[in-house]
Structure 1
Amino acid sequence: MNYRKYLAFILIIAISLILPAGCVFLAETDRVADEMYQVFYELGYHDFFSFYERNFGLAVDDKFTLPDYYRLGDRQSIKMPVMAVVENHPRSRPQAGLEEADFVYEVLSEGGITRFLPVYYRDLPEKVGPIRSVRDYMGVLSAEHGALLLHAGASEGGYARISSDDVISLDEISRSQYYWRCSDRRMPHNLFTGNDKIKDYLGGLDWQQDLSVYKFNFSKRDNPTVAKAEKIEKVDLFYWGNYLVSYRYDQSENSYARYINNEPHKVESGQQLTADNIVVLHADTNVIDDVGRLSVDLDSGGKGYLFNNGGKQEISWTRNDGRITLLDDDGQEVLIDSGRTWIQIMPISARVEYN
């Protein structure tokens, strides 16, 4: 935010709290914020900011992304985005909380097992996990969202990334009071956290959100980004060994049901996971030590796919200024449809099949 605007805003808030009319001001602020969310929801990302620039003089450099505008629900805004490191070992299933995430990244860890990185722009669910340790490339993705990173330990590279990228992390190793272990699972597959714990932590955090926080750009609801000329009913992603992720398109819901090794991928609540957008990013992936830890190159870009609305689009991706951008064949940025988005980061050699 422009420095002078920021100071002016703080001054207005301070005066309003001192004056008797402060409560009226704050109530009006809440009302205006609610109306802005509704306008944002109706117009879509780009039309909203054009409207805001024309009417309020918002500079291009001040543009920001309102959280979760595309799915207004009962959950309330939190103080900052949150990303969790959730494991996907067979003994960790069913996971908790993935169904409430606005974004979910899936990326390989050692042993050919993936980990999930759900991102929440609203309140967390009551239970999220199982929580596991972070790797350096996972820290890269957390930094892109300006998110609080929830994890239990890290590789040496993971801790180095957290330090160098100024990632705000909440490590269970040093702050176990914000996590708990369930008695119905064995360690290390039983560590969880949730909304009440994280709100307690955020309440004492001296932090203000950077309004330039990265998020994929979205199109309007009635302007789908992928044409349905080539109808795709099933997508198969062969990560490593015998681990298969599949998505099956449901035309009646215009969404994709998720499967692991041809079995419905369900969370603790019994709900099967679904996605509105599936983004596949191929990234150079290599084993770097005897333990089997990996390097995943999120800087050099590569090829990929976007699946939504029952269609497919071949894309490329780049990462500049700390932000992953999706591009079409003409080098123009690809907009993602409004909705829940799964980003599948896969080795370059990994097979992607669709029909």
Structure 2
Amino acid sequence: MPTAARWAAATLAVGLLLGTAGCAAEEQPAAAGPTPRPTQTARPTPPPPVLAPLRGTVAAEGADERPALAAKIDNHEGARPQLGLERTDIVFEELVEGGLTRYVAIWHSDLPDEIGPVRSVRPMDPDIVTPFGGIIAYSGGQEVFVDMMMNTPVVNAVFDFDDTGLFYRDDVHESPHDVIVHAAELVRRNALLPPPAAQFEYAVDDGEPTSVAEGAANSVVQLRFSDARWPSWGWDAAGASWLRSQEGEPDLDAAGAQLRASNVVTLLVEIDDYSFEDIPRTLMIGAGEAWVSSGGSTVHGVWRKDSPAGSIRLVSDLGTPITLAPGNTWVELVPSSGGVEIIP
């Protein structure tokens, strides 16, 4: 091959090699860098659950915003079984004339459509109801007692004055133990009233109620209001609640189930027998002995209430505020002439 031709061929070969090497360099992937981490988005902390003020349990949606409804509930044999007592937040049992008892029952967390039978008010009822605000339903009463109740900041719904259909007489009980209230409708008509304030302190975050932490285990709380009324509460470990009896017989609701409570608060109270002739008046403004039963145990202490609008304060013998178990409560206003027996 002539020299010029060989030189041209060599030049072409070198060019081809350089072109191939250049292409290879262009096709080689770049060195991999560190893999970027995904951005961590902070999760919002959920708000704490809203607790029902009169039970210390988690409130149903919207239930904490409505007002409390109190009612004067009959406890005559002819009024049993009562309607709605099993769904109360708090019930007060009080002595009335003839050695009988009546209830001031308060609904807030769980509101039935109907409650009753309702009866007339007594002179201690304003001091019991005022701290809850909201509404009080009753059938009437002596003019002086009705005036006392009307002078509280609580909305009064009275059978004797009602012409709007909130009350009716049922065909289950005989008169006068037959007046029933449309409870849910009564609350709906007064929905703008504020909800109640908490009345007791509750053990929260899995804490023990004071009766368990400081008290002693017991099986029965036996009470005596009079020779005609001696209720008792027996601890049901399986149901984790106290079961109510009256005069030795189970106290049943309208469905045939025994009434039960998470807490039984027993207050020894003085009775004014003279200011209103034969109508006993439980003195709610004052202080005295107290027994608080929760979780199958009872702790002894003192109670105090300083004003009509003030709540009942409970302090143990060790000087600590008494906390209750979350749930419903019965408050037994036992006369000092009666009796309280805590049975192991």
Distance, in Å, in 2 between the alignment partners of 1:149 and 1:349 is: 29
Q: Which residue of 2 aligns with 1:235?
A: 221
Relative to total residues, which structure has the larger helix share, 1 or 2? 1
Q: Which residue of 2 aligns with 1:81?
A: 68
The alignment's TM-score, normalised by the length of structure 2, stands at 0.78
> Do the aligned partners of 1:281 and 1:305 also contact (CA within 8 Å) in 2?
yes
Matching residue's letter, 1:171: V
Stretch moving more, 167-176 or 79-88: 167-176
Task: Write the mapping of 1:183-222 to structure 2, written as runs, cut at 5 A.
Answer: 183-203=171-191, 207-209=192-194, 213-220=197-204, 222=206
Task: Write the mapping of 1:330-345 to structure 2, written as runs, cut at 5 A.
Answer: 330-345=318-333
Cα deviation digits, residues 26-83 of structure 1 (max 9, x gap)? xxxxxxxxx65x5245xxxxxxxxxxxxxxxxxxxxxxx7464505458945631110
Distance, in Å, in 2 between the alignment partners of 1:236 and 1:191 is: 30
Q: For residue 309 of structure 1, report the CA deviation from its aligned partner.
A: 1.1
Q: Which residue of 2 aligns with 1:134?
A: 121
Cα deviation digits, residues 139-169 of structure 1 (max 9, x gap)? 2111011131010112344223223333321
The structure 2 residue matched to 1:311, chosen from 287, 294, 297, is 297
Matching residue's letter, 1:252: A
Matching residue's letter, 2:203: S
Matching residue's letter, 1:254: A
Distance, in Å, in 1 between the alignment partners of 2:225 and 2:248 is: 14
Distance, in Å, in 2 between the alignment partners of 1:139 and 1:235 is: 27
Q: Which residue of 1 aligns with 2:27?
A: none
Q: For residue 327 of structure 1, report the CA deviation from its aligned partner.
A: 1.1
Q: Which residue of 2 aligns with 1:300?
A: 286
The structure 2 residue matched to 1:143, chosen from 113, 118, 130, is 130
> Do the aligned partners of 1:71 and 1:339 also contact (CA within 8 Å) in 2?
no
> What secondary structure is seen at the aligned counterpart in 1 of 2:175?
coil
- The answer as to 2:167 corresponding to 1:179 is yes
> Do the aligned partners of 2:54 and 2:199 also contact (CA within 8 Å) in 1?
no
Distance, in Å, in 1 between the alignment partners of 2:198 and 2:216 is: 31
Stretch moving more, 194-203 or 184-193: 194-203
Structure 1's 138 and 223: CA in aligned 2 closer, same or farther, altered over 3 A?
same
Structure 1 runs of 4+ off > 6 angstroms?
Answer: none
Distance, in Å, in 1 between the alignment partners of 2:202 and 2:260 is: 18
Matching residue's letter, 2:258: Q
Matching residue's letter, 1:341: T
Task: Write the mapping of 1:1-355 to structure 2, written as runs, cut at 5 A.
Answer: 36=47, 39-41=49-51, 66=53, 68-72=55-59, 76-77=63-64, 79-176=66-163, 177-203=165-191, 207-209=192-194, 213-220=197-204, 222-224=206-208, 225-227=210-212, 230-288=216-274, 292-321=278-307, 322-355=310-343
Q: For residue 315 of structure 1, report the CA deviation from its aligned partner.
A: 1.2
Q: Which residue of 1 aligns with 2:17?
A: none
Q: Which residue of 2 aligns with 1:30?
A: none
Distance, in Å, in 2 between the alignment partners of 1:71 and 1:277 is: 17
Structure 1's 349 and 78: CA in aligned 2 closer, same or farther, altered over 3 A?
same
User: Greater RCO between the two (CA within 8 Å, min separation 6)?
Assistant: 2
> What secondary structure is seen at the aligned counterpart in 2 of 1:323?
coil
Q: Size of the alignment, in residue pairs? A: 294
Distance, in Å, in 1 between the alignment partners of 2:219 and 2:268 is: 21
Unmatched tracts of structure 1, length 5 or more: 1-34, 42-64
> What secondary structure is seen at the aligned counterpart in 1 of 2:301?
strand
Alignment RMSD: 2.5
Unmatched tracts of structure 2, length 5 or more: 1-45
